[in-house]
A and B are shown apart, each in its own frame.
Chain A
């Protein structure tokens, strides 16, 4: 059976070139602890520095502003909790959006329980944060604004540059969760006016368990982990050498291939969206079609439920994901779709397909071939469908 992986926003496979770069640090070079003085350690230090340069280059930062973490979730936690702790004397108000990843959303809720006030900004029906809403939410107490760069479910690209400009004018620290944008669209911390930025390796064909937080020089932040002096005391713990080296290599390749891949994937993605809309009735595309990352397609198929669609797709070898409650283990469908004002029953029928470097035009043709029969079959069973 043909296998088509369309869940690249969940995770991506490690590229062979990345694996090759990592292997020595799991084998002969595994003795290298960058904190030691002997030759193994010096070599490890050199590899660590090189990886930091590569990641910094991809996001337009200086190497000394990149701090490796265990992934995007830790980077988000450090950004929010670390900023809150370091700046609480200035104020205790934080602004974020209602469509953030749970790594930000749940951390913000944790801070609320610690006595911080948090504003969760609404979004437009297209899934975009309005700069005016950010401006209105700012108070004298505001110490941090955190808005994601690209939404993981609907792929919308948020007006980070404009929000960052506003934050800078008001002297407020600005964080962006860029886990879904780094390597997929050009990211430059200076152009975006951000002070803090989270990134993750496994979304760009690197290994799981490694990511980073960019911290602009001069930004006050308190560590959330305590131990040795690694990562300039911001993030203690012996460095995950194979992971970090893999992240560096993945970042290097992503940067190099970005302009070409972006164009290629956008064409495939548009073919997918247009093809589905042409072939199937009562389908809507969730999320703005213009301000959208090239890899994301998100549909709601009316009258059918998302998990049934995913199971049916899986039987045809197609891997996708859904914002349906049944796939999340909770009773509510995706908080992102609900925040966009999409009714529960429509959100339950959502399917996200996210493209990546292994996808070809033949993959899209295959999806377009099997999808109509899957939807027709499920609709024939649905008491909501009366056609």
Chain B
């Protein structure tokens, strides 16, 4: 079955980067639901407009875990504006592609990131 996935996907599934939670995060984004079989929760820590840290927790298939892991790697060190440019396509490409029926997993990862940024922006509006 592992042959369905690229080596990169299997690497991120086996050794996922940045698993966990951030205490008092700048923003949190959660997408999916257990009925569909996928839930992705992404935490970001923003300092001076730069995403310093990003962590995730995911309930889902191999592709869902790998895309979560990859998106955390892609956003670390990026500005909010740069992070917003990260698309589901970019996540899939960084993993050397995903099987056609798993492309929705990369959508989830990008959506979770955008939601976390939205959450961060909403929180900051309130402060100012």
Is the Cβ of B58 less than 8 Å from the Cβ of A381? yes
A355: Cβ under 8 A from any B Cβ? no
Stretch at the interface among B28-36, B46-54, B73-81, B86-94: B28-36
Chain B residues within 8 Å of A329, by CB: 101
Which residues from 294 to 329 on chain A have a C-beta closer than 8 Å to any C-beta of chain B?
A: 303-308, 310-311, 314-315, 324-326, 329
Which residues from 25 to 43 on chain B have a C-beta closer than 8 Å to any C-beta of chain A?
A: 30, 34-41
Is the Cβ of A324 less than 8 Å from the Cβ of B61? yes
A344: Cβ under 8 A from any B Cβ? yes
Residue from A308, A315, A331 with most neighbouring chain B CB atoms (10 Å)? A308
A383: Cβ under 8 A from any B Cβ? yes
Is the Cβ of A345 less than 8 Å from the Cβ of B13? no
Is the Cβ of A382 less than 8 Å from the Cβ of B36? no
Binary per-residue interface labels of chain B (87-109) against chain A in the complex, 1 for a CB within 8 Å, 0 otherwise: 00000000000000110000000
Chain A residues within 8 Å of B16, by CB: 381
Binary per-residue interface labels of chain A (373-384) against chain B in the complex, 1 for a CB within 8 Å, 0 otherwise: 000000011111
A348: Cβ under 8 A from any B Cβ? yes
A333: Cβ under 8 A from any B Cβ? yes
Is the Cβ of B1 less than 8 Å from the Cβ of A382? no
Is the Cβ of B57 less than 8 Å from the Cβ of A344? no
Chain B residues within 8 Å of A380, by CB: 19
Chain A residues within 8 Å of B63, by CB: 326
CA distance A382 to B30 in the complex (A): 12
CA distance A307 to B59 in the complex (A): 11
Chain A residues within 8 Å of B59, by CB: 303-305, 381-384
CA distance A306 to B40 in the complex (A): 16
Is the Cβ of B57 less than 8 Å from the Cβ of A383? yes
Chain B residues within 8 Å of A304, by CB: 59
Chain A residues within 8 Å of B101, by CB: 329
A87 to nearest B CB, angstroms? 40
Chain B residues within 8 Å of A331, by CB: 36
B124: Cβ under 8 A from any A Cβ? no
Is the Cβ of B37 less than 8 Å from the Cβ of A348? yes
Is the Cβ of A308 less than 8 Å from the Cβ of B61? yes
Chain A residues within 8 Å of B40, by CB: 383
Chain A residues within 8 Å of B64, by CB: 305
Task: Output the nearest chain B residue to A328 by Cβ-Cβ distance.
Answer: B101
CA distance A382 to B5 in the complex (A): 21
Is the Cβ of B57 less than 8 Å from the Cβ of A381? yes
Known A314-B1, A331-B36, A383-B39; contact A308-B60, beta-carbon cutoff 8 A: yes
Known A315-B14, A329-B101, A381-B19; contact A305-B2, beta-carbon cutoff 8 A: no
CA distance A27 to B65 in the complex (A): 50
CA distance A324 to B41 in the complex (A): 20
CA distance A361 to B59 in the complex (A): 32
Chain A residues within 8 Å of B5, by CB: 311
Task: Output the nearest chain A residue to B19 by Cβ-Cβ distance.
Answer: A381
Chain B residues within 8 Å of A333, by CB: 37
Chain A residues within 8 Å of B38, by CB: 305
Chain B residues within 8 Å of A308, by CB: 13, 60-62, 65
Known A314-B1, A325-B36, A344-B34; contact A305-B14, beta-carbon cutoff 8 A: no
Chain A residues within 8 Å of B41, by CB: 383
Is the Cβ of A326 less than 8 Å from the Cβ of B14? no
CA distance A325 to B36 in the complex (A): 8
Is the Cβ of A384 less than 8 Å from the Cβ of B34? yes
Contact of A384 among B10, B36, B39 (CB under 8 A): B39
Is the Cβ of A344 less than 8 Å from the Cβ of B61? no
15 new A-B contacts, CB < 8 A, other than A315-B2, A326-B60, are A305-B60, A306-B61, A307-B61, A308-B13, A308-B65, A310-B1, A311-B2, A324-B61, A326-B37, A326-B61, A326-B102, A331-B36, A381-B19, A381-B59, A384-B39
Ranked 5 nearest A-B pairs via Cβ? A345-B34, A307-B61, A326-B61, A383-B57, A348-B37
What is B's interface to A at a CB cutoff of 8 Å? 1-2, 5, 10, 13-14, 16, 19, 30, 34-41, 57-65, 101-102
